[in-house]
Amino acid sequence: MEKEELQAIASQLKHPTGEKGIETANMMHEVNSNMIRHSIQNLNISNGNIILELGHGNAGYLDFIFEKADSLKYYGLEMSELMFHEARKKNRNFVSRKQVFFSLYDGNVIPFEKEYFDKIFTVNTIYFWQDPEKFLLEIYRILKTKGTLCITFAEETFMKKLPFTQFEFELYTSEKVENLVSKTHFKIVHKETLTESVKTRTGEEIKRDYTTFVLEK
């Protein structure tokens, strides 16, 4: 594949736009569904929780969250206008019932008051955080005391095999995330790495290691 093509794939994953962006979002929804479910599972959602997701893509999995407990509210924040619109379209019933709220933001300052959320999760976005330490502090600010943050990402050993990750992506090992977290007041309560088989763009099956960090304020 040409350098320009690889760069274009990386840009779409970082910030989906246009026709290709819709395709990319559908593909991510399919390929990443185990990772997303793993992150949600580890949130231990209970009745009345106010939940935030950072970087939801098309958010085609919200049923899975609302099955977990009653009287939940889900907020989704995105940097991609296309994903904001796609997610609203896919979840129009939840949105009209005022159970789900989507907004756009700049990827740095989270537009909510302090200690607003019980649970926060984010899947496959850490690679794109502009200032990871500052961003974790920002997440800390809006999480309630004893609240949970789940960060789910694919391990560097797997990501390195995908040629487009040399552009736009900052890759992470578990150790690197642990080191990042140690610079904040978050406590690591659990960390789990799982391996699954995924299909690459060329149809080849490869093993992917992914990790969820469960952090507590």
Ligand X SMILES: C[S@@+](CC[C@H](N)C(=O)[O-])C[C@H]1O[C@@H](n2cnc3c(N)ncnc32)[C@H](O)[C@@H]1O
Q: Which of 42, 49, 91, 124 binds ligand X (CB under 6 A)?
A: 124
What lies within 8 Å, CB to CB, of 15 at 6+ separation is 79, 80
Give the Cα separation of 84 and 58 in Å (integer). 8
Give the Cα separation of 171 and 173 in Å (integer). 7
Residue with smaller CB distance to ligand X, 48 or 64:
64
Q: How far is CA 49 from CA 72, 121, 176, in A?
A: 5, 13, 30
Q: Using the rule CB under 6 A, is 13 a contact of ligand X?
A: yes
Give the Cα separation of 61 and 96 in Å (integer). 17
Contact 72, 46 (CB under 8 A): no
Q: Which of residues 23-62 bind ligand X (CB under 6 A)?
A: 28, 32, 35-36, 54-57
Q: Using the rule CB under 6 A, is 208 a contact of ligand X?
A: no
What's the min distance (Å) between Cβ of 83 and ligand X? 4
Give the Cα separation of 217 and 207 in Å (integer). 33
Q: Which of 42, 49, 80, 212 binds ligand X (CB under 6 A)?
A: 80
Contact 194, 210 (CB under 8 A): yes
What's the min distance (Å) between Cβ of 212 and ligand X? 12
Q: Which of 43, 72, 78, 118 binds ligand X (CB under 6 A)?
A: 78
Q: Which of 83, 87, 149, 154 binds ligand X (CB under 6 A)?
A: 83
Q: Which of residues 157-196 bind ligand X (CB under 6 A)?
A: none
Q: What 3-state DSSP class applies to 110?
A: coil
Give the Cα separation of 193 and 105 in Å (integer). 30
- Looking at the chain, the number of H-run helices and the number of E-run strands are 9, 7
**Count of residues of this chain found to bind ligand X when the rule CB under 6 A is applied:** 23
Q: Using the rule CB under 6 A, is 123 a contact of ligand X?
A: yes
Q: Which of 76, 107, 132, 147 binds ligand X (CB under 6 A)?
A: 107
Taking CB under 6 A as the binding criterion, the range among 62-70, 71-79, 190-198, 201-209 that sits at the site for ligand X is: 71-79
Q: Which residues in this chain contact ligand X in the complex, by CB under 6 A?
A: 13-16, 28, 32, 35-36, 54-57, 77-80, 83, 107, 123-125, 128-129
